[in-house]
C-alpha cells in the first residue's frame, strides 16, 4: 500500500485521479478548496485544506512522507496568466517547489506532475506534436508548466527524486466547474442547459485535442504503477474545432440557441494536437473514450445536477 498525496484532489481532474488511486492505497488530498469541492472527495480520504505555497503544506509533506505526490493543483487560466503573470508563477512554480524539497527527503519518492501539452508547445510546427517538439509557449501558463518540468529534472539529478510529467491536452468530463476559467465543453453545457446562447472566442476555427478525464486518471494510475521517468503526452492525437464543438452541443441540448462570435484571447494558439505514441509505448496508455461518448457522459452529469 502506497502513501499518496494528490494536490488539487478536490478539483475536477484531481478528484478523478483520487478515485483511480484509492483502491489499495492510502490517499490524502491537499487542496485549498479555492475551486475544488468536498463533494468530490470520498469519505475515506483525508482532506488537508492548505495552500500549496504555504509553510504548513511543506510541513505536512515532510511529516507524512508520502511515497507518491500527484501534483494536480495549479492556476489553470491562460488569460489570468497573461494578466497576472506573478500570480501564475507563484502558484505554478513556487507552489510546486515548496512541496518538492520536503518530498525529496523521502527515499524512493515519486512526483507525478500534470503539465500541459498544447500550452507548452505553443503554435506547433508539426501535427500532432511529439514530446521532442520545440518548447515555444504562447502564454505564461505554458511557460510555468515547462519551468515546473525543469525543476523536476533538476530534483531528479540533484536529489534522486523520481518524476513523471504528463503533458495533458484539453481535458473535459464530469465534475468540471463551468464557472471561471473552465474548458469550453463545461461552459457550453451549462449555458445551453440554462436556455442561453453561447459565444465562441475568435473565429472558432481554432482546434483542440479533447481528452476525457477518466483517460487522464488512468494515465496517472499507470505512471504510479510503472514509475517511468520523463515527459509523456496524454491526448487523443485528434483535432476538433471549437465551432464544431459548439454546434454539436447546441444540436444535442438546445437547437434553438444561437452561436455568436467574440474576440480571441491573448495567449491562445490556433491549433493544438499532441502525439500520444510514446505514452502508448512506454506507459501502455491509450485513450479509450471517443469524443461522442465522452460528450454523452459529460452532458448526462450536468443534466443530473440540474
CA–CA separation, 234 vs 115, rounded Å?
Answer: 10
Q: Where are the beta strands (DSSP E) in the chain?
A: 3-7, 26-30, 46-48, 68-71, 110-116, 162-168, 170-172, 198-201, 207-208, 210-212, 230-234, 240-241, 259-262
Contact 259, 200 (CB under 8 A): yes
Residue reference for cell 464557472:
179
- DSSP letter at 274 equals B
Selecting among 141, 163, 172, 302, the annotated active-site residue is 141
In the residue annotation, 141 being an active-site residue is answered as yes
CA–CA separation, 15 vs 278, rounded Å?
Answer: 26
Residue reference for cell 503544506:
57
Give the count of beta carbons closer than 10 Å to the beta carbon of residue 184.
Answer: 20
Return the closest-CA partner of residue 289 out of 233, 254, 238, 246.
238
For residue 151, which phi and psi values (nearest 5 degrees)?
A: -65, -40
Q: Where are the beta strands (DSSP E) in 117-226?
A: 162-168, 170-172, 198-201, 207-208, 210-212
Cell numbers that stand for 246 in this block: 459548439
> Active-site residue numbers?
141
Amino acid at each position: 500500500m502506497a502513501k499518496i498525496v494528490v494536490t488539487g484532489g478536490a478539483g475536477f481532474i484531481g478528484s478523478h485521479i483520487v478515485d483511480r488511486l484509492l483502491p489499495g492505497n492510502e490517499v490524502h488530498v491537499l487542496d485549498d478548496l479555492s475551486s475544488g469541492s468536498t463533494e468530490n472527495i470520498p469519505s475515506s480520504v483525508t482532506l488537508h485544506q492548505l495552500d500549496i505555497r504555504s509553510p504548513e503544506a511543506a510541513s505536512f509533506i515532510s511529516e507524512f512522507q508520502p511515497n507518491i505526490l500527484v501534483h494536480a493543483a495549479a492556476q489553470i487560466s491562460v488569460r489570468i496568466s497573461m494578466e497576472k503573470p506573478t500570480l501564475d508563477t507563484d502558484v505554478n512554480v513556487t507552489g510546486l517547489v515548496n512541496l518538492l524539497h520536503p518530498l525529496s527527503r523521502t527515499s524512493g519518492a515519486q512526483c507525478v506532475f500534470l503539465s500541459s501539452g498544447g500550452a507548452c508547445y505553443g503554435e506547433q510546427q508539426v501535427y500532432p506534436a511529439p514530446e521532442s517538439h520545440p518548447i515555444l509557449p504562447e502564454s505564461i501558463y505554458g511557460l510555468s508548466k515547462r519551468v515546473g518540468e525543469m525543476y523536476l529534472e533538476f530534483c531528479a539529478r540533484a536529489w534522486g527524486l523520481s518524476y513523471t510529467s504528463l503533458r495533458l491536452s484539453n481535458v473535459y468530463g464530469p465534475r468540471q466547474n463551468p464557472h471561471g476559467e473552465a474548458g469550453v465543453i463545461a461552459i457550453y453545457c451549462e449555458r445551453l442547459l440554462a436556455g442561453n446562447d453561447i459565444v465562441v472566442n475568435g473565429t472558432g476555427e481554432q482546434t483542440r485535442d479533447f481528452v476525457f478525464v477518466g483517460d487522464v486518471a488512468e494515465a496517472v494510475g499507470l505512471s504510479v504503477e510503472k514509475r517511468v521517468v520523463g515527459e509523456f503526452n496524454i491526448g487523443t492525437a485528434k483535432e476538433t474545432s471549437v465551432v464544431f464543438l459548439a454546434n454539436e452541443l447546441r444540436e444535442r441540448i438546445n437547437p434553438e440557441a444561437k452561436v455568436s462570435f467574440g474576440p480571441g484571447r491573448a495567449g491562445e494558439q490556433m491549433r493544438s494536437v499532441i502525439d500520444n505514441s510514446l505514452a502508448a509505448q512506454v506507459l501502455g496508455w491509450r485513450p479509450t473514450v471517443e469524443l461522442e461518448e465522452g460528450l454523452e457522459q459529460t452532458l448526462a452529469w450536468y443534466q443530473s445536477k440540474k
